[in-house]
Amino acid sequence: MPGRRYGEFDDLLKAFHQAHCQDADHEAYGEMAWQDHRLIVAHRPEVAQVQTAARDQKLEALQADARQWFEKLDNQDAGRRYRDRQLSDADVTARLYKAVSDAHLEHILKVDLTAESKRSSWDVLPSH
């Protein structure tokens, strides 16, 4: 099972990642103990590279959408009218939340549904 899905593995895998995965050019394996279980760890750099590129592409698409929504809000605030329904800060926040959720990037991006400012509703979390 992919360990990146489980936050409880973060601390356990950090040392393995730093020692064997960061600059790896071939598959790396390891074994460690976790909650009285034997945990076998494997890292494949070519798979990681493909997954990183796909994630970065999703992030760029989300950022482009967010820029458009924020620009529309700014233009509406400046008095520009649009044919379709006007956006509110809550609409943009809801769209961001849904887009991040649909892209399965909740572990990287956090949408603050309680933010008062539209621009502070999207916080980029530090990468691990």
Give φ, ψ of 119 to 5 degrees: -80, -20
Regarding whether 100 and 54 lie in a shared domain, the answer is: yes
Regarding whether 105 and 88 lie in a shared domain, the answer is: yes
DSSP bridge partners of 110: 123
Regarding whether 54 and 10 lie in a shared domain, the answer is: no
Regarding whether 62 and 119 lie in a shared domain, the answer is: yes
Regarding whether 112 and 60 lie in a shared domain, the answer is: yes
User: Is the Cβ–Cβ distance between 108 and 125 less than 8 Å?
Assistant: yes
Q: pTM of this prediction?
A: 0.67
Range of the domain at 20: 3-43
Regarding whether 103 and 59 lie in a shared domain, the answer is: yes
Regarding whether 116 and 86 lie in a shared domain, the answer is: yes
User: Is the Cβ–Cβ distance between 70 and 118 less than 8 Å?
Assistant: yes
User: Is the Cβ–Cβ distance between 118 and 93 less than 8 Å?
Assistant: yes
Average pLDDT in the 20-40 region? 85
pLDDT tens figures, 68-127: 888 888 888 888 888 887 888 888 888 889 999 999 888 788 887 776 665 545 554 444
Question: In the chain, what percentage of residues exceed pLDDT 70?
Answer: 84
